[in-house]
Amino acid sequence: MNAEIIGVGSELLLGQIANTNAQYLSKQLAEIGINVYYHTVVGDNATRLKETIHTAQKRADLIIFTGGLGPTKDDLTKETISAVLDKPLVTDEEALQSIESYFKKVNRVMTPNNKKQALVMSGSTILHNNYGMAPGMAIKVSGIEYLLFPGPPKELYPMFENYAKDYLLSKLEIKERIESRVLRFFGIGESQLETEIEDLLEKQSNPTIAPLAGDGEVTLRLTAKHADSKQAKKLIDDVETEILQKVGPYFYGYNQTSLPEELMKHLINEEKTIASAESLTGGLFSERLTSISGAGAVLKGSIVCYHNDVKQHTLGVLNETLNNHGAISVQCAKEMAEQIRIKCCSDIGISFTGVAGPKVQEGKEVGTVFVGIAIEGKETVVHHLQLSGSRQAIRQRSVYYGCHYLLKQLKERD
């Protein structure tokens, strides 16, 4: 079964809301073996919606609509589809009673247009809405399955899970499971990674391997298809093993994780604390950690020492260091990391100093970055980076490199 998802609503085209429904549905459909080949968005316009339906009918045998089932005049999805399919709209009494009960419960007057939400196409299977008013529906016409969902995710998600999923599974002749896994890498470019696993990319079939460059990192999505979910996972396991044999040192985690999250997990598991001294990053490192649940057990504190006076008088960097080597130097990064660890009584101190731009500072080019890592009982290490990109990109990538280097050093110790 090949699907097209059509999001209906001018607010989607205006960028007022993101089309998260299509993302959710694509993931759910993939898991039950339905291919999604097209995402389409159309505004609240009957003529354009009809044209969109006619286009979808030529290339899909499952067409899913989200949005446009509400009570207002611009909610025209089911009216338009009803006209295209020549299926009259009738009142679903159960839905109408549910809508009337809701208004009585909240002690509000039910306006006549709310009855519109109880209209469904004649002959359709009703998908009950347990978290809203307008029911969804499913109907097959001329060999094509049509599914209609309300737009609010809080209504659509449970409707799909509780009703639509079973409906679709009953229509599938071959029930294949699609399993996918994302491998995340840092410190290696997309082209280099593809070169390292070129032989695997050339022979891929099932599972497939899809590289994707992200914000300073690279991901590989592994997707396997099999009737048995366990067998699909085994196919992925086997390919993952081959990949990590080639580029394992750059691998740091799975799926939707991030370097700060992985660092946080490691610090929590090892019961280690950390403190940061931030010049270049201006508190961005500590912000990333504190945005993750559990940071209170890990992060002792942070000093944003943007000005040299703060580096010297608050943090404790030596005046001689600043005069002889400058704030943007190996020596300054080293002292910053060591001093913040001591002042915050933490196991680890990390520092960031450098030039984010837009101008050269202390004779150092834009993108020059020093990351210091001081671990109790170990020699302090300073990493020198030369990054490119915008001011914000340099700052963000500095934080990620800090997480990467520290995580790598901690794992090597283990």
Each domain of the chain, given as residue ranges in start order, spans 2-171, 177-254, 259-413
Place of tokens 């009855």: 115
pLDDT at residue 401 in the model:
96
Question: Does domain 177-254 match CATH 3.30.70.2860?
Answer: yes
d(CA 122, CA 203): 49
pLDDT at residue 310 in the model:
97
Question: Does domain 2-171 match CATH 3.10.20.30?
Answer: no
Provide the mean pLDDT of the chain. Answer: 93
- Report residue 320's pLDDT band, with 50, 70 and 90 as the boundaries: very high
pLDDT in tens, 383-401: 999 999 999 999 999 999 9
Kindly provide the residue ranges of all beta strands, DSSP E only, lying in 262-367, ordered along the sequence.
274-278, 299-304, 348-354
- Report residue 173's pLDDT band, with 50, 70 and 90 as the boundaries: confident
Residue 214 has pLDDT above 80, yes or no: no
CATH code of the domain occupying 259-413: 3.90.950.20
- Average pLDDT (122-145) is 94
pLDDT at residue 283 in the model:
97
Residue 412 CB partners (closer than 8 Å, separation 6+): none
Cα separations (Å) of 92 from 89, 102, 359, 414?
9, 16, 67, 63
Q: Which of 31, 32, 23, 30 is nearest to 5 (CA)?
A: 23
- Report residue 266's pLDDT band, with 50, 70 and 90 as the boundaries: very high
pTM: 0.71
Q: What is the CA radius of gyration of the chain?
A: 28
- 411: Cα within 13 Å, side-chain hemisphere: 15
Q: Cβ of 293: how many Cβ atoms within 10 Å? A: 9
Both tokens of 317, joined, read: 């960097």
As a whole-number percent, the residues of the chain with pLDDT over 70 amount to 99
Both tokens of 380, joined, read: 């302090």
Both tokens of 53, joined, read: 């339906």
Q: Does residue 88 have a cis bond before it (omega within 30 degrees)? A: no
d(CA 288, CA 57): 46
- Report residue 30's pLDDT band, with 50, 70 and 90 as the boundaries: confident
- Average pLDDT (222-234) is 87
Residue 302 has pLDDT above 70, yes or no: yes
Element spanning 156, H or E: helix 153-159
> Comparing 2-171 with 177-254, is the CATH topology the same?
no
Q: Which of 150, 100, 115 is nearest to 129 (CA)?
A: 150
Q: Phi and psi at residue 148, in whole multiples of 5°?
A: -120, 125
- Average pLDDT (166-179) is 82
Q: Cβ of 16: how many Cβ atoms within 10 Å? A: 9
Residue 307 CB partners (closer than 8 Å, separation 6+): none
Both tokens of 233, joined, read: 């996972």
pLDDT in tens, 343-395: 999 999 999 999 999 999 999 999 999 999 999 999 999 999 999 999 999 99
d(CA 120, CA 137): 7
Helices assigned H by DSSP within 39-76: 46-57
Residue 177 has pLDDT above 80, yes or no: no
Q: Cβ of 329: how many Cβ atoms within 10 Å? A: 21
d(CA 342, CA 194): 43
* The length of the chain, given as a count of residues: 414
d(CA 405, CA 362): 25
pLDDT in tens, 52-91: 999 999 999 999 999 999 888 778 999 999 999 999 999 9
